[in-house]
Structure 1
Amino acid sequence: MLGWLSYCCRSRGRTLLLLAVVSVTFFVFQVQQAELFGQAASVNSQRPRKDRLLRSSPDATAPNTVPDANTLSTTLHNTVDTTVHTASDVTLDTTLDTTLDPLVGPACDGELSRFIKQGFHLPVLLLAHRRAERLLETLTSLAAVRGFSADEILISQDGSDEEVAKTVDARNLSRVTHDAKLRGTSDWKSAALRIARHYRWSIDAAFKHFNTTPGIIIVEDDLRFAPDFLEYFQAVAPVLDCDSSLWIVSAWNDNGFDHLVGEAKRLLRTHFLPGLGWLMLRRLWKELQPSWPDVEERRREAQMNNWDHWLRSPQQHQGRSVLYPQVPRVYHHGSLGTFMNLDTHRQYFQHIFYNQDPKITWQRPTADRPWLDAAVADARREPYEARIMQQLRHAETPRSTSALVEALASGKAAALAVWINISPEDVKKKSGAKEGFSSVAKFFGLWHEGQRAAHRGLHELWWGRTHVFLVNVHPKVGYIEGSWRADGRCASTTDAFSLFASCNPASKTPCCSPVGRCEGQPSHCGCSRCLDTRKMVPSYGHLLPAELKPFVAQDFAALAPPRRVTTRLGQGG
């Protein structure tokens, strides 16, 4: 008995000794890990992290709180503002992809957002006529886009061209046929009306074919597509549920030339519909369809036969903006068409740059991660306008044409604000010569129409290393907030230079007459040279620096621009 007790005590002692050694070893290990973790935390606190903004809680007591979207947008502004291109040939800035987690803030809850969060895809409606070879190129390009599915494509054929039908049927794609031919002459007005009629019929057919989709992506048979074309719409479309100041999303930039773009994911705003790959919502179609310019009986009454011109009118957009990418997600490769010829294509389409980088991606909202992509959140009205105003206030302002040319040539300025007071369209003078925005367009290499790609008179572009803000304060562009005068005088279409003053759109005299007086009678609001501010948007004229004289059309008439710097990744064609 005593022997057994002695053995047990010796065994228990060895066990206790072993437990003590293990405990001490584990304690030392914990201390070492704590020291290492503290060192790592110290290093990481000084090192910017891609996920730091989202995953580091602004409130230690609420570790799962999503940061405020406006706060993150401000950080995004600061990041983008300080980006300066340093290469002789510009490389696209992908700051939006690399400095922030792509998830910024929760998307608004709406029919479109819920559709995409549930994993559904927006279908594509492709309109074709009789260009089988172009259609084949377009379908081949579309099939190479990430996320492409043949079940989500509908081809609407105008007419009965056999080669077009064979091209579509050979790929087992859904096809519907419609003959929009009109009786009578074959002038351009009839052609425009035929296209408008086919658009109306096709959109109706698409919403019936895809009977659960809240929207359709509309393209034509002469486009090439970026690798992220479909992802772009899936990511950007939900913002239409969040921002009532937007009504359409487009994949095209009229001024997306290879020497004027620099930010791969920057989204811009305009009231001038770009078209060429755009999103039509079902709810918007219910609004537009009854008055769409397509019915033959309306031809005598219709002021606009072109469907896109009609959509660009203030009566349709009602002050709402189109969201589009600085770098287009489509390229127009058709050089012949109803309203296209070789000269027009060479001047306005051949040198458009469209994204071809497969590494650029977009984050669409999902059920588990219901947030907007950073670039999309930054395009909402409040952060967008805050960014513009901040950058205009900090940009350098050339006060002479020689200073402007020198600033563009040197590339030393991070940002330039170029203020102009020029009619957005050319005006015929008494001498017979035309004067207007075309002089500025020739200098920078823009479309000659000043409304294209402009937001409140602002064109945002890149010139090599320099971010350029071309700001137009002409009274035709928009009214200047807070500029109304007690004597009722205003800057008119016939005298836009003697003073910077507008009529108050909320007053009883909202219309500036040709003689420069604010009036309220119908005759002063509806004439061709009158300005009805109720139908206009505010310009950025209230930010015009004191005592600065904006450039006028004559300043650019004989001005030669410095050498253009094209985007390094090449041309769209």
Structure 2
Amino acid sequence: MALLECGARVWLLVAAVMFLLLQARLFSVQTKYADRIALAVEGENKCSHSKKALIDQFSVQQGRIVALEDEKERLENKNAQLSLLVRDYRRMGKEVPKLVGTKPVAAVVIMACNRPDYLDRTLNSVLKYQRLVAEKFPLFVSQDGPMESVKAKAKSFVGVGYMQHLEGDPPTRNPGEIVAYYKIARHYKFALSQLFDIRGFEKVIILEDDMEIAPDFFDYFEATSSILDCDKSVVAISSWNDNGQKQFVSDPTALYRSDFFPGLGWMLTREFWDELSPIWPEAYWDDWLRLNSTRKGRQFIRPEICRTYNFGEHGSSMGQFYYKYLVPIKLNDVHVDWKSYDLESMLKEEKFNKELARRIALATPLNNVDENILKMVENVNRDIRIVYNSQMHFESLARAFGVFEEWKDGIPRTSYKGIVVFRWKGNRVFLVRPDSREALGYNADVF
């Protein structure tokens, strides 16, 4: 009996050893397989990264191919356009001028989506003046979305390049938000990337498909483009004045610095785009440009009399402000010889501040204004200044005159150093903050 028990123990011991050896073998095999799986996963990740890099590279190359095709089409259209001009010169018995290669001042892009009738009106207005300066201002249409009638309309015009942005509806941050504002922001980033990063332009002028332009639109932008090169305190040139209604303007040569981004026909540089593009917002791009954190203390140039007219009653903003503020806008119709003005010097910050402070100092102060403010202003019959002490106070004054009351990030529309200027019966009205004098760097105690 003892012998049997001893044999059983031996067999149990042998079985235990065999089991341990088998487990060790299995562990070794599992370890090898785990290592192989890890290597396989690592290899798959590398393949995925390589694939993504190839896709990105392919997308860039595809974008360049599309850009080259567009450029080819643009050159063919330009050739056809030049042929028409040559024919017209010969028909009128005039000598055909010699063509000299010209470096573009800026590319011009019309942002379009789903309004072919609006686009037709805008293109006809722009081409009326652009054909004479096509070398300096190459023209493009950028369409957001697949609407064939818009594409056909854009391609029906000779000398116009075409770009198309096709992307699904982006997600919104908050329930109930209008997705159009997100789509517009994406479209703007696409169009600016195409013109700056792919096609290599140094400056771009942005229009929308519901705008007409003034006869001196291109002269204005050519004359002011050098300001962007020499004055780094200015980041964009606009053709728009929010308070540019007929009753508030009179001088077609007057230009102003502004802390408030006007938009609606504006020019920016590649340098500014390189700063903006990595942080471009998901939506509300224009209000984002009006933030102090985006502007960083820099200004925009705007005219007193608009060089663009917005006829877009129907659009993403659903006609906001249309009848009150857009319909009465004065579109410049006077020829201005911009080349005869030293704009760089006139609009340089120190000189502009000094001249503005001088004009405000000469203006008649109007204190203790009441509900008869308009009659009080007319009785003075000269430039006046009124100090406002708060946003609410400013809004009540703006409401009385009929100018924009709106503020963005603490800044009233059109203002510079807290100063809003407009015309009333031909005379200037200056609405100023109590600290505007210090902001201008003007030491005399004048207001």
| Pair 1:142-2:142 in alignment | no
Residue by residue over 1:248-307, the C-alpha shift from the partner in whole angstroms, topping out at 9 and shown as x without a partner, is 11111111111111211111111211101111211111111001013xxxxxxxxxx300
Correspondence list, 1:445-484, <5 A: 445-450=402-407, 451-473=412-434, 481=438
| One-letter amino acid of the counterpart of residue 412, structure 1 | N
Kept in 2, the 8 Å contact 1:411–1:465? The answer is no
1:442 is aligned to 399
Q: Distance in 1 between matches of 2:245 and 2:445?
A: 27
1:254, 1:325 → 2: CA distance? 10
Structure in which a larger fraction of residues adopt helix: 2
Whole-angstrom distance in 1 between the partners of 2:423 and 2:436: 26
Give how far 1:118 is off: 6.3
Q: Distance in 2 between the 1:449 and 1:169 partners?
A: 39
The residue aligned with 1:316 is: 294
Where do 5+ consecutive residues of structure 2 fail to align?
A: 1-100
Match of 2:352 in 1: 384
Query: Quick check: 1:161 aligned with 2:147?
Result: yes
Q: Indicate how the Cα distance of structure 1 residues 165 and 118 shifts in structure 2: closer, same or farther if over 3 A, else same.
A: closer
Of 319, 327, 345 in structure 1, the residue corresponding to residue 305 of structure 2 is 327
Give the AA of the match of 1:349.
L
Note if contact 2:238-2:265 (Cα within 8 Å) is conserved in structure 1: yes
Q: CA deviation at 1:325?
A: 0.6
Distance in 1 (CA, whole Å) between partners of 2:305 and 2:192 is 27
Cα RMSD (Å) = 2.5
Whole-angstrom CA distance in 1 between matches of 2:376 and 2:428: 11
Deviation of 1:379 after TM superposition, in Å, equals 1.4
| Residues 125-274 of structure 1: pairs in structure 2 closer than 5 A | 125-145=109-129, 147-149=132-134, 152-172=138-158, 173-184=160-171, 187-208=176-197, 210-211=199-200, 213-274=201-262
Alignment-mate amino acid for residue 227 of structure 2: V
CA separation of 1:384 and 1:219: change in aligned 2, threshold 3 A: same
Q: Find the aligned partners of 1:543 and 1:412 in 2 and give their Cα distance.
A: 25
Larger radius of gyration: 2
Instruction: Determine the C-alpha separation between the residues in 1 that align with 2:171 and 2:196.
Output: 31
Q: Counterparts of 1:280 and 1:387 in 2: how far apart (Å)?
A: 26
CA contact (8 A) 1:126 1:219 kept: yes
* 2:256 aligned counterpart, secondary structure: strand
Q: How many residues align?
A: 337
Partner Cα separation in structure 2 for residue 436 and residue 328 of structure 1: 27
Equivalent residue letter for 2:387: W
Query: What do the CA deviations read for 1:365-404 (whole angstroms, capped 9, x no partner)?
Result: xxxxxxx833453111121001011112221112232685
Q: Structure 1 pair 283/374, CA: closer, same or farther in 2 (3 Å)?
A: same
Give the share of equivalent positions with the same residue, in percent. 28
- TM (norm. structure 1) is 0.55
2:390 pairs with 1:418: no
Deviation at 1:182, TM superposition (A): 2.1
Residue 238 of structure 1: SS of its match in structure 2? helix
Q: Compute the TM-score of the two structures, normalised by the length of structure 2.
A: 0.70
Residues 93-124 of structure 1: CA distance to partner in whole angstroms, max 9, x if unpaired?
xxxxxxxxxxxxxxxxxxxxxxxx96533120
The AA in structure 1 aligned to 2:161 is S
Residues 1:542 and 1:347: Cα distance change in structure 2 (over 3 Å): farther
CA distance in 1 between partners of 2:277 and 2:424 (Å): 41
How much does 1:340 deviate? 3.0
Contact 1:132 1:167 in 2 (8 A): yes
Q: CA deviation at 1:319?
A: 0.2
Higher relative contact order (CA 8 A, sep 6+): 1
SS of alignment partner, residue 437 of structure 1: helix
Asked if 1 retains the 8 angstrom alpha-carbon contact of 2:388 and 2:394, the reply is no
Contact 1:293 1:310 in 2 (8 A): yes
**Contact 2:104–2:138 at 8 Å: present in 1 too?**
no
C-alpha deviation, 1:184, in angstroms: 4.9
1:438 Cα deviation (Å)?
A: 2.9
Distance verdict in 2 for CA 1:270–1:289, change over 3 Å: same
Looking at structure 2, the residues matched to 273 and 381 of structure 1 have their Cα atoms a distance apart, in angstroms, of 17
